[in-house]
Structure 1
Amino acid sequence: MKLAGSAVLGIDRDRVWSALQNPAVLVRTIPGCERLEETGPDTYRMTVTAGVASIKGVYQGEVALSEPEAPERFVLRARGQGAPGTVDATVEIRLSEVEGGTRIDYDAEAVIGGMIGGVGQRMLGVGREEDGGGVLLRRGEPPRRRGDSRSGLRPGLRPGLRSDPRARLLRARLRPCLR
Structure 2
Amino acid sequence: MKITGERVLAVPVQRVWDKLFDPETLKRCIPGCESVEKEGDALYKAVVAMAIGPLRARFAGKLQIHDAEAPVRCRLVFEGSGGAVGFAKGSVDVSLAEAEAGTRLAYEADTQIAGKLAQVGARLIDSVAKKLAGEFFDRFEETVAAGAA
Q: Does 1:64 align with 2:34?
A: no
CA distance in 2, matches of 1:110, 1:88: 6
Could you say which structure has the higher helix fraction?
2
Deviation of 1:26 (Å): 2.2
One-letter amino acid of the structure 1 residue matched with residue 39 of structure 2: T
| Other-structure match for 1:157 | none
| Other-structure match for 1:88 | 89
Structure 1 residue ranges without an equivalent (≥5): 139-165
One-letter amino acid of the structure 1 residue matched with residue 118 of structure 2: G
Deviation of 1:19 (Å): 1.4
Q: Does 1:171 align with 2:149?
A: no
RMSD of aligned residue pairs (Cα, Å): 1.9
Cα distance per residue 1:89-115 (max 9 Å; x no partner): 201111010002001101011101111
Q: How does 1:124-143 map to 2 (within 5 A)?
A: 124-127=125-128, 133-137=131-135
CA distance in 1, matches of 2:30, 2:127: 20
Cα distance per residue 1:105-146 (max 9 Å; x no partner): 010111011111111212223445xxx5421426xxxxxxxx
One-letter amino acid of the structure 2 residue matched with residue 17 of structure 1: W
Q: How many residues get paired?
A: 148
Structure having the higher Rg? 1
Preserved CA contact (<8 Å) 1:80 1:88: yes
Identity %: 30
Q: 1:54 to 1:92 in 2, by over 3 A?
A: same
Bigger RCO of structures 1 and 2 (CA < 8 A, at least 6 apart): 2
Q: TM-score, normalised by structure 2?
A: 0.88
Structure 2 residue ranges without an equivalent (≥5): none
Q: How does 1:1-179 map to 2 (within 5 A)?
A: 1-83=1-83, 84-127=85-128, 133-137=131-135, 168-179=138-149
Preserved CA contact (<8 Å) 2:76 2:93: yes
